[in-house]
Amino acid sequence: MNDLQHQVQEAIDQFVESGAERGLQVAVYQHGELMVDAFAGVADPETERRVVSDTPFYAYSTGKGATATVAHMLAEHGAFGYDTPIVELWPEFGAHGKEAATVRHALTHTVGVPGIPADTTPEDLCDWDKMCAVIADSEPWWEPGTKTAYHAYTFGYIVGEIVRRATGKPISQVLREEVAAPLGIADELYFGMPESELGRLARLEDEEGSAEFLAAMPDDSPILKWGPRATFPTAEFGNRPDVLMADIPAGGKMSARAAARGLRRGIQRRR
C-alpha cells in the first residue's frame, strides 16, 4: 500500500468510525494511473453489506459529467458540432422560438428551458419519450444563449435526446459502449442500471433534518421550478427501482473509481 493510499484509507476509516459517514469511496488517478482506491463502511445498513471498490452510488448530478463526456466524444467524432442547431437533429425542439438553440447552449446550461412542469412525477421522469416531448414543447424562459441557469433535469434529457437522434441509440447504450467499456468501468458507470445489478448499489439515506427542510420549502421557491417537490433528490426517490433503472442522465450511478476515470476522460476531450 503506497503512502497516499494509506493516508486516505486511514482518514475515511475515521469518518466511518466517528459516525460522520455511513459508507464511502475515494479514488484518485494521476496521469492515468490509479493512485488511491479506498473504501470503508457499509453500502446497506439493513443487511450490513460492505462498500467495496466497485459499489455504485446514485451520485445524482455528478452524472452530468458522464452525459457531457458522451456529447464531447460524439462531437469529436463528427456526429454533430457544438454550434449545430438542435433542430437539425431534433426538429420538434424548435417549438416556441427555440429554433436557434445549439448543442453548445445545451451543454452550457444556456438553452433556456431549465424547468419541468410542477406536476411532474417520478414516474414521468422514467418515461423518456414523454419528458422529451414536454421539454421540446416548452416555452423558453429566455432567448437561447442569452442567460444561464442550472438545467437540473432538462440537461440530461436534452443532451440525451441529441445523442439518441445522432446515433439512433439511447445515451445509456452509448455511454456503456463508447465510454465505460473502453475504460474498463462498464459495470461501475450507468444512467439506467439493469435490474440484475440493483443489488450492488449503495442504499441512500437522508441527512437528519432534510425531510423537514424540504417540507418547509415554499411552493414558489425557485429551486422547485427546476425540479418539483416530488422529484427532489431524496433517499426515498434515489432508492426507487424504477428511477434507478431509468435513463435520467441529469444524474448517474457510479463508483468513485468510475467517476474519477470516466469524467476525467470527458475533461480531456473538451480540452
Q: Domain map of the chain by residue range? A: 1-53, 57-270
Please report the pLDDT score of residue 264 as a whole number.
Answer: 63
Please report the pLDDT score of residue 53 as a whole number.
Answer: 96
Q: What is the mean pLDDT of each run of 10 residues along the chain (271 residues)?
A: 91 96 95 94 96 97 96 96 98 97 98 95 98 98 96 98 98 96 95 97 89 80 83 93 97 96 61 48
Dist. CA 243–CA 187, nearest whole Å: 18
Catalytic positions, written as ranges: 61
Cβ atoms of residues 106 and 85 within 8 Å: no
Q: How far out from the chain centre does Cα 173 lie?
A: 15
Which CATH architecture describes the domain 57-270?
Answer: 3-Layer(aba) Sandwich (3.40)
Please report the pLDDT score of residue 2 as a whole number.
Answer: 81
Dist. CA 84–CA 74, nearest whole Å: 12
Please report the pLDDT score of residue 269 as a whole number.
Answer: 47
Please report the pLDDT score of residue 151 as a whole number.
Answer: 97
Please report the pLDDT score of residue 23 as a whole number.
Answer: 97
Residue labelled with grid coordinates 416556441? 96
